[in-house]
C-alpha cells in the first residue's frame, strides 16, 4: 500500500518562489542532478517561472511540507495528441530527502496532471545509478521502458538513463493510505 504523507501538499509555483529556487539551483548537487548547462541567475529563474505560468501545457508545482516550500515537481513537454507529459522533480531542502516528501509530492502532481491534461502516460528519465529516485518511481508504479545509453553528461562522464513510464491505468491501481 502506498503511504502518502498528510503534511505534504502542492501548489502552483509563483514569482514569490524565485529567490528560494535560485538558491537551490546554486547547490552543486541539485545543479548536477538536474543537468544544468549554465549557471543559474535570479533573472533566469524568475523568467522560467513566468513562462511556466503562461504555458497551458506546463504545470510547475511547489512541494510543501507543513506549508514550507521544500522542492518542485514539473509536468512539461505535454503532447496533447499523444496525451503524454514528462515529469521532473527535486527536493531543494536536503533535510527532507528520504522521508517520503518527494513521493507524496509526485503523487499529488500526477493526480492533478492526469486529470488536468487527460493524460494517457507520464514519462521521465533517471540516472540508472540513482537508487533513491528509482525506488520512489517504482513505488508509484512507473516501469522501465528502455535504457538511453550515454544520455546524461555529468562532470564530463557519460551516464546511462532509464526511460520510465506510468500509464493512467497503472496510476489508478495505486491505493494510497494517507498518514
Measured CA to CA, the distance from residue 103 to residue 3 in angstroms comes to 9
Q: Are strands 121-127 and 84-91 parallel, antiparallel or unpaired?
A: parallel
Could you report the per-residue pLDDT of 164-179, keeping only the tens digit for each?
999 999 999 998 888 7
The model's pTM: 0.95
DSSP 38-81: S---HHHHHHHHHHHHH-TT-EEEEEEETTEEEEEEEEEEEETT
Is the pLDDT assigned to residue 1 strictly greater than 90?
no
Could you report the per-residue pLDDT of 34-81, keeping only the tens digit for each?
888 889 999 999 999 999 999 999 999 999 999 999 999 999 999 999
Q: Indicate if the alpha-carbon torsion angle 129, 135, 87, 26 is positive or negative.
A: negative
* Cell numbers representing residue 108 in the block: 499529488
Is the pLDDT assigned to residue 132 strictly greater than 90?
yes
Domains, the chain, ordered by start:
2-178 (3.40.630.30)
Is the pLDDT assigned to residue 106 strictly greater than 80?
yes
At 26, the pLDDT band (50, 70, 90 cuts) reads very high
The half-sphere exposure of 17 on its side-chain side, counting CA atoms within 13 A, is 23
At 32, the pLDDT band (50, 70, 90 cuts) reads confident
Is the pLDDT assigned to residue 155 strictly greater than 90?
no
Amino acid at each position: 500500500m502506498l503511504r502518502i504523507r498528510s503534511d505534504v501538499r502542492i501548489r502552483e509555483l509563483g514569482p514569490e518562489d524565485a529567490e528560494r529556487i535560485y538558491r537551490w539551483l546554486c547547490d552543486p548537487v541539485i545543479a548536477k542532478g538536474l543537468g544544468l548547462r549554465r549557471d543559474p541567475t535570479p533573472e533566469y529563474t524568475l523568467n522560467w517561472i513566468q513562462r511556466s505560468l503562461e504555458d497551458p501545457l506546463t504545470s510547475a508545482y511547489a512541494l510543501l511540507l507543513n506549508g514550507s516550500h521544500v522542492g518542485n515537481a514539473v509536468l512539461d513537454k505535454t503532447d496533447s495528441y499523444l496525451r503524454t507529459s514528462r515529469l521532473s522533480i527535486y527536493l531543494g531542502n536536503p533535510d527532507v530527502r528520504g522521508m517520503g516528501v518527494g513521493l507524496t509530492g509526485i503523487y499529488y502532481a500526477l493526480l492533478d496532471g492526469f486529470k488536468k491534461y487527460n493524460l494517457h502516460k507520464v514519462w521521465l528519465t533517471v540516472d540508472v545509478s540513482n537508487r533513491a529516485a528509482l525506488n520512489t518511481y517504482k513505488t508509484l508504479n512507473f516501469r522501465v521502458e528502455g535504457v538511453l545509453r550515454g544520455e546524461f553528461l555529468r562532470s564530463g562522464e557519460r551516464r546511462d538513463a532509464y526511460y520510465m513510464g506510468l500509464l493512467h491505468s497503472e496510476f489508478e491501481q495505486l491505493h494510497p493510505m494517507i498518514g
